[in-house]
Amino acid sequence: MTFVGSDPSSHQSENCWFTPLEIIKPLGKFDMDVCTMSFRPFDVAKEHIEHDKGQDSLNMSWKGCVWMNPPYGKEIEPFISKFKNHDNGVALVFARMGTPWMQDWILKGGGIYSSFERE
């Protein structure tokens, strides 16, 4: 399983995007970050599932309020499914309204918050 994008610069070959702290901080405190790496620039939660160390959050128990910035593309669906079943936390995902997982999310009453800056 691979993750999407790259940051910080010393790990550009990795496939991972980190969410800026100014987006996460106003959302409150999280018990578990279920999709992160060991080289993250800051801690988002009390506990972390580090995929670069072989931890597989899809086969691990999640507890409390989770933060999830999942891998994108074809790999996102099992993470979305587990997140919906856990039913406690915040997931940062693109609003891909035409995807089956997003349609299911909406039909089952999943909350959506959209944010963008205007000039």
Percent of the chain with pLDDT over 70: 77
In tens, the pLDDT along 26-58 reads: 899 999 999 998 888 899 999 999 988 999 999
Q: Which of 39-43, 52-56, 74-78, 96-100 has the lowest mean pLDDT?
A: 96-100
* pTM reported for the whole predicted model: 0.76
In tens, the pLDDT along 11-30 reads: 444 556 788 888 889 899 99
- Averaged pLDDT for residues 93-98: 77
**pLDDT for the residue numbered 112:** 65
Q: Residue 67 above 90 pLDDT?
A: yes
Instruction: Give the span between the Cα atoms of 6 and 44, in whole angstroms.
Output: 17
Instruction: Give the span between the Cα atoms of 93 and 105, in whole angstroms.
Output: 12
**3-state secondary structure at position 27:** helix
Residue identified by tokens 């620039």 is 41
For the chain, the average pLDDT equals 79
Phi, psi of 49 (to 5 degrees): -100, 110
What are the DSSP calls for 41-69, one per residue? SS--EEEEEEGGGT--GGGS---SSEEE-
Instruction: Return the DSSP state at 97.
Output: T
